[in-house]
Amino acid sequence: MDKKTTIKNLLDLADIKVNGDRPWDIKIHNPDLYDRVLAGGSLALGEAYMDEWWDSDALDEFFNRILRSNIDQQVKWNPSAIWNVITAKLVNMQSRSRAYKVGEHHYDLGNDLFKKMLDKRLVYSCGYWKEADNIDNAQEAKLDLICRKIGLEKGMRVLDIGCGWGSFAHFAAEKYGAEVVGVTVSREQVKLGNERSKDLPVEIRLQDYRDLDDKFDRIVSIGMFEHVGSKNYRTFMQVANRCLRDEGLLLLHTIGSNISMVTTDPWIHKYIFPNGMIPSTRQIALASEGLFVMEDWHNFGVYYDKTLMAWYENFTKNWNKLGDRYDHRFYRMWTYYLLMSAGAFRARKNQLWQVVFSKKGVSGGYDSIR
């Protein structure tokens, strides 16, 4: 069987036609795509899209169908992917010396990009759409949900591990009267975060989480655990345990995987989040065992599809204001990142978890809040 027929047969399993007329069908512009993808797997597929070798009018739905049919499993084990797994097992890819790489590569791309793509508070994590009708409301609802889940009260000292541009810190200080310390590995986030919080009891630090040694009433980590890595999950929990007062609560907000992995998609690793890794329920449970009591586990991964599509809408709507700094290849790369991610959540391959932990168990029990 030739390579073109092999690819077509695989796509048939996902109800995707080559050069078909439905939005999720694939339009192939370069016939060498078949050889390239079979040789290079998901990395080659993404790079070929960036090179304009193929298109799909509904890239998000294309990936939803690919992932639901599991045909990605049949073409991903190329030499590059195998090497990534071997390297991840042998080397701590999220060590202290590498901690700032993702900040430089991704979060320092430019505050202008994220201002145009995200909501007004610059929240770069999944929104809570239960009663929201737009991205601004969804993100405010998520921030308030977190504050309520940790029982935040005026005067409490809170640590935000992986604070981004300080969106949670600002909200918690403004709405709940908390004093917040946030840490990030992005210099651009520190700069803008401190500018935005100059009149609030908020401090944004450029600091690796492993260097933390203060005491806090509450700790949150929102969309940062995906950068910790399996070799460091236990260390993260030990740091959180060390910094949390005995009666405090820890809330972990993270993308989750249905299976335990030690690496990420090769294209995502190369172009978006170097050394990223999505944890599983098992990995989180093992990392926290003996250190925390798990009080609550909330999955609202279906809302990440909606969040990513809102970001994509903002990104495309504002591209004319960004084009002077970012080229067309970047546009296709970012489009691929956002819509592939939306498809993964739509296919339920990725989840979004909020997990609440206590150190010794909440006296009388914890009331789950939704």
> Residue 230 corresponds to which amino acid?
S
pLDDT in tens, 91-124: 455 555 555 555 454 566 678 999 999 999 999 9
pLDDT in tens, 189-241: 999 999 998 899 999 999 999 999 999 999 999 999 999 999 999 999 999 99
The domains found in the chain, sorted by start residue, are: 3-77 (no CATH), 96-358 (3.40.50.150)
Question: Does 90 have pLDDT greater than 70?
Answer: no
In the predicted model, what is the mean pLDDT of residues 65-87? 63
Place 85 in a pLDDT band, splitting at 50, 70 and 90.
very low
Poorest-pLDDT segment among 48-62, 120-134, 322-336: 322-336
